[in-house]
Chains A and B, each alone.
Chain A
Amino acid sequence: MIEVKAVEKKYGRKKILKGVSFTAKKGEITCLIGINGVGKTTILNAIMALTPINKGQILIDGKTLDKHTFEKITFIPDAITMLPHMTIAEAMEFMDDFYHCWNQERATELLGFFRLNQSDRISSLSKGNTAKVNLLLGLALDVDYVLMDEPFSGIDMFSREDIANVFTSHLIENRGVIITTHEVGDIEHLIDKVVLLDDGMVSKEFSAEEAREIEGKSVIDVMREVYQR
């Protein structure tokens, strides 16, 4: 389980996160939702120790992050994490070189799933295909947790469909996923848990299924209630 406990983060004098707490369990898809600048990406960066936090604690399966944790958790940011001059094959080779948990079989499967060409250079890819390569490099790791930052941002409908299909496939099964997105509609029916962020705090944390089944509300309905109050 990923535990984010009372995390505070300041950029200069501005407090971006004001004591954010939530948990994300293995086998669940947790969606972080909030308007631009609310600190969604900062939370993911903080979980991966890519930005320091001012207060609070982040635990992954009860431990703070260290070099071994990177074999347990992967982060798929909204930016390519490989050198632009590399081909997809070279990027895969790089991952295979460094990660024990790299699963070549799954990587090959993902190549087919996303209809990517191994010999293509990363710099020559469209935004949609770049996002797919990012997903490929992240999901081909046999890790327990996957963090995704805006995987649908700025890409066409067909690429979005391809990426959304990942969430219904075995590629995500049994993993704990934390995803930030504006395009909730694409994966609303797949989300297990929603964490709504507002003004640097968690304004509401709820089970998407319960909201649907008990209250008869979609995630978007709950978002409207919270953000348009």
Chain B
Amino acid sequence: MRNYLKLVNFEFNRVAKLFAVLLSFTFIVQVIGVIVQSKSYLNMADKKIYEEFMPKAQFLESFGHMSFFQIIRSVWFLGPIAICIAGVGFYIFLIWYRDWLGKNTFIYRLLMLPTTRLNIFYAKITTILIMTFGLVAFQLILLPVEILFMKTMVPEEFRSDMGVGELLTNMPELSIIIPGSFVELILYYGTGLLVVSVIFTAILMERSFRWKGIFAGLVYIAIASVIFILPLLLQEFVLNGYFYPVELLVLEIITGLIILAASIWMSRFLLTKKITV
């Protein structure tokens, strides 16, 4: 356990700079987005009310109040989130390949550590989880700050205020990364964890068998995907809605756990018996 924690700490420190860059980028771009969107609304209000002499009430009726929704739906807000998702997605591959490729032969050291080799797998997957949860947590902290920014820029009579909770429940774009309930959290993040573990196993197949491993990895991903959606397919096409939604959820959780266990077992086998530096 101690070695696992040390490895997690070590792996996270390796990605700390990239993580900090993603956080800073998100902060800067989203705050700029708040400023740009608020300014553009205020400029429009200025133009209509003071230059075209439109009554304030009529302006609000025609153009509506400025709400944080407008900011969230803009590329300023969703762009950094997409980049963070892409960054984590890219790092899922880089976290393994950086130890093998180029001048870096750190994989020698990792595989020769006096600890079970599966700890390397656990440490890397934990690092991906920490990154993901870290980015989500940062976004949650950032939201009220950005709302405050908007409030300081846009006068109250032009604003339609809403809290973070209200934003999250009304925004499907956000509900995937910030689930509204515990079940959604298990569903979304459980699936995410599963996808990462399957990809890790496929990467280890490639690292063990090279070209043949790429094929084996792709086949493994395909099989895991089919098994995972099998309950949904059966429900839809064979059993004609036989299961209650809760039963279906339980079935999905069970298939998910089976795939996770298979990925861990296979990764352990590859790391101890088949891996090649």
Contact = CB atoms under 8 A, between A and B. Distances in A.
A45 B108 CA distance: 9
Interface stretch (B39-47, B219-227, B267-275): B267-275
A83 B17 CA distance: 15
Interface in A62-94: 67-68, 70-71, 74-75, 77, 79-84, 94
B148 to A, nearest CB: 38
B114 A68 contact: yes
Contacts of A94: 10, 109
Interface stretch (A49-57, A106-114, A156-164, A205-213): A49-57
Given A70-B113, A70-B114, A97 B6 contact: yes
The prevalent SS among residues of A at the interface is: loop
Interface string A23-62: 0000000000000000000000100111110000000000
B276 interface: yes
A50 B275 contact: yes
A221 B14 CA distance: 50
A227 interface: no
Contact of A50 (B3, B104, B276): B276
Contacts of B103: 80, 84
Given A81-B105, A81-B108, A99 B114 contact: yes
Interface residues of A, number: 24
B143 interface: no
Nearest to B114: A70
A54 B275 CA distance: 13
Contact of A79 (B108, B111, B117): B108
A52 B277 contact: no
Contacts of B10: 94
Contacts of B117: 67
B115 interface: yes
Contacts of A50: 108, 111-112, 275-277
23 contacts: A45-B276, A48-B111, A49-B272, A50-B111, A50-B276, A52-B274, A67-B114, A67-B116, A70-B113, A70-B114, A75-B112, A79-B108, A80-B103, A81-B106, A81-B109, A81-B112, A82-B109, A94-B109, A98-B3, A98-B113, A98-B114, A99-B113, A99-B114
Given A52-B274, A98-B3, 5 more contacts: A45-B277, A50-B277, A74-B112, A79-B105, A84-B104
